[in-house]
Amino acid sequence: MSSILGKLGRQASIAPFKNGAIVTFSAVGGDFDVAKGLLAALLSKKHLLALAHCAQRSKTMNATLEQALICKLRTLSAQQVAEVEDFVEFLAGKARKAQALDRLLAIAPALEDAGVAPISEEEIAAEVKAARTEHRAREQAKASGAGRS
Protein backbone atom coordinates (compact mmCIF):
# COMPACT_ATOMS: atom_id res chain seq x y z
CA MET A 1 0.00 0.00 0.00
CA SER A 2 2.87 2.39 0.68
CA SER A 3 3.92 1.93 -2.96
CA ILE A 4 0.47 3.16 -3.99
CA LEU A 5 0.85 6.18 -1.75
CA GLY A 6 4.27 6.77 -3.28
CA LYS A 7 2.67 6.87 -6.73
CA LEU A 8 0.40 9.66 -5.52
CA GLY A 9 3.42 11.85 -4.93
CA ARG A 10 1.65 13.51 -2.01
CA GLN A 11 2.14 13.72 1.69
CA ALA A 12 0.05 10.77 2.77
CA SER A 13 -0.69 8.84 5.92
CA ILE A 14 -2.47 5.57 6.54
CA ALA A 15 -4.30 4.37 9.65
CA PRO A 16 -6.10 1.07 10.35
CA PHE A 17 -9.91 1.34 10.30
CA LYS A 18 -12.28 -1.60 10.97
CA ASN A 19 -11.39 -4.19 8.31
CA GLY A 20 -9.62 -1.69 6.07
CA ALA A 21 -7.71 1.54 6.45
CA ILE A 22 -8.09 5.27 6.19
CA VAL A 23 -5.76 7.07 3.83
CA THR A 24 -5.38 10.82 4.09
CA PHE A 25 -3.33 12.93 1.76
CA SER A 26 -2.84 16.54 0.84
CA ALA A 27 -3.33 17.78 -2.68
CA VAL A 28 -1.85 21.11 -3.61
CA GLY A 29 -3.74 23.54 -5.81
CA GLY A 30 -6.10 22.18 -8.44
CA ASP A 31 -4.76 18.61 -8.59
CA PHE A 32 -7.03 17.33 -5.79
CA ASP A 33 -9.44 15.59 -8.19
CA VAL A 34 -6.57 13.93 -10.05
CA ALA A 35 -5.09 12.59 -6.83
CA LYS A 36 -8.50 11.47 -5.55
CA GLY A 37 -9.22 9.69 -8.85
CA LEU A 38 -5.85 7.97 -8.83
CA LEU A 39 -6.39 6.83 -5.26
CA ALA A 40 -9.85 5.45 -6.09
CA ALA A 41 -8.50 3.65 -9.17
CA LEU A 42 -5.60 2.05 -7.31
CA LEU A 43 -7.39 0.91 -4.18
CA SER A 44 -10.13 -1.66 -3.74
CA LYS A 45 -13.22 0.04 -2.30
CA LYS A 46 -14.27 -3.01 -0.27
CA HIS A 47 -10.95 -3.17 1.57
CA LEU A 48 -10.19 0.46 2.09
CA LEU A 49 -12.07 3.52 3.19
CA ALA A 50 -10.23 6.38 1.53
CA LEU A 51 -10.66 9.84 2.89
CA ALA A 52 -8.95 12.60 1.00
CA HIS A 53 -8.18 15.89 2.64
CA CYS A 54 -7.52 18.72 0.24
CA ALA A 55 -5.11 21.11 1.94
CA GLN A 56 -4.72 23.89 -0.58
CA ARG A 57 -1.71 25.79 0.65
CA SER A 58 -3.00 29.07 -0.75
CA LYS A 59 -5.93 29.07 1.66
CA THR A 60 -5.73 29.48 5.41
CA MET A 61 -8.81 27.44 6.23
CA ASN A 62 -10.12 24.27 4.60
CA ALA A 63 -13.57 24.35 3.03
CA THR A 64 -15.11 21.86 5.46
CA LEU A 65 -14.14 23.91 8.49
CA GLU A 66 -15.25 27.10 6.79
CA GLN A 67 -18.67 25.59 6.01
CA ALA A 68 -19.04 24.31 9.58
CA LEU A 69 -18.30 27.78 10.95
CA ILE A 70 -20.77 29.40 8.55
CA CYS A 71 -23.49 26.94 9.63
CA LYS A 72 -22.83 27.76 13.27
CA LEU A 73 -22.87 31.50 12.55
CA ARG A 74 -26.29 31.18 10.91
CA THR A 75 -27.74 29.92 14.19
CA LEU A 76 -26.61 33.01 16.13
CA SER A 77 -28.60 36.15 16.83
CA ALA A 78 -27.57 39.44 15.20
CA GLN A 79 -26.01 40.57 18.49
CA GLN A 80 -23.98 37.36 18.78
CA VAL A 81 -22.80 37.67 15.16
CA ALA A 82 -21.64 41.22 15.94
CA GLU A 83 -19.72 39.90 18.96
CA VAL A 84 -18.08 37.21 16.81
CA GLU A 85 -17.14 39.84 14.23
CA ASP A 86 -15.62 42.04 16.94
CA PHE A 87 -13.64 39.09 18.28
CA VAL A 88 -12.34 38.17 14.81
CA GLU A 89 -11.29 41.79 14.26
CA PHE A 90 -9.55 41.73 17.67
CA LEU A 91 -7.64 38.57 16.69
CA ALA A 92 -6.67 40.06 13.32
CA GLY A 93 -5.43 43.23 15.04
CA LYS A 94 -3.46 41.17 17.51
CA ALA A 95 -1.83 39.26 14.64
CA ARG A 96 -1.00 42.51 12.81
CA LYS A 97 0.64 43.91 15.96
CA ALA A 98 2.68 40.74 16.44
CA GLN A 99 3.82 40.88 12.80
CA ALA A 100 4.78 44.55 13.17
CA LEU A 101 6.81 43.75 16.28
CA ASP A 102 8.53 40.88 14.47
CA ARG A 103 9.42 43.21 11.57
CA LEU A 104 10.76 45.78 14.02
CA LEU A 105 12.84 43.22 15.89
CA ALA A 106 14.17 41.85 12.58
CA ILE A 107 15.67 45.21 11.60
CA ALA A 108 17.02 46.09 15.05
CA PRO A 109 20.41 44.37 14.51
CA ALA A 110 20.87 46.13 11.16
CA LEU A 111 20.12 49.49 12.76
CA GLU A 112 22.61 48.78 15.52
CA ASP A 113 25.26 47.69 12.99
CA ALA A 114 24.67 50.89 11.00
CA GLY A 115 25.37 52.95 14.10
CA VAL A 116 21.86 54.38 14.40
CA ALA A 117 21.38 55.72 17.91
CA PRO A 118 18.56 54.09 19.86
CA ILE A 119 15.53 56.32 20.42
CA SER A 120 14.10 57.12 23.82
CA GLU A 121 10.77 55.95 25.17
CA GLU A 122 9.48 59.52 24.89
CA GLU A 123 10.36 59.60 21.18
CA ILE A 124 8.63 56.26 20.67
CA ALA A 125 5.53 57.51 22.50
CA ALA A 126 5.47 60.66 20.35
CA GLU A 127 5.74 58.60 17.13
CA VAL A 128 2.95 56.26 18.27
CA LYS A 129 0.74 59.23 19.18
CA ALA A 130 1.36 60.84 15.78
CA ALA A 131 0.60 57.60 13.94
CA ARG A 132 -2.63 57.12 15.89
CA THR A 133 -3.70 60.71 15.20
CA GLU A 134 -3.01 60.24 11.49
CA HIS A 135 -4.93 56.94 11.48
CA ARG A 136 -7.95 58.51 13.22
CA ALA A 137 -7.94 61.40 10.74
CA ARG A 138 -7.96 58.94 7.80
CA GLU A 139 -10.80 56.93 9.37
CA GLN A 140 -12.84 60.09 10.01
CA ALA A 141 -12.26 61.28 6.44
CA LYS A 142 -13.37 57.87 5.16
CA ALA A 143 -16.47 57.92 7.36
CA SER A 144 -17.46 61.45 6.35
CA GLY A 145 -16.90 60.60 2.67
CA ALA A 146 -19.07 57.49 2.97
CA GLY A 147 -21.80 59.49 4.72
CA ARG A 148 -22.11 61.84 1.75
CA SER A 149 -22.66 59.08 -0.81
3-state secondary structure of 62: coil
Q: Please give the chain's pLDDT, 149 residues, in tens.
A: 444 444 444 455 555 555 555 555 554 444 555 555 545 544 444 334 433 333 343 355 577 888 888 888 889 899 998 998 999 899 999 999 899 888 888 887 887 888 888 778 898 889 889 999 999 999 999 888 876 65
Q: Hey, CA dihedral for 112, 115, 119, 120, is it positive or negative?
A: positive
Q: CA-to-CA distance for 25 and 5, rounded, in angstroms?
A: 9
Class of domain 1-75 as given by CATH = alpha beta
* DSSP 8-state secondary structure symbol assigned to residue 54: -
User: Does the reported pTM lie above 0.85?
Assistant: no
Where do the domains of the chain lie? Answer: 1-75, 77-117, 119-149
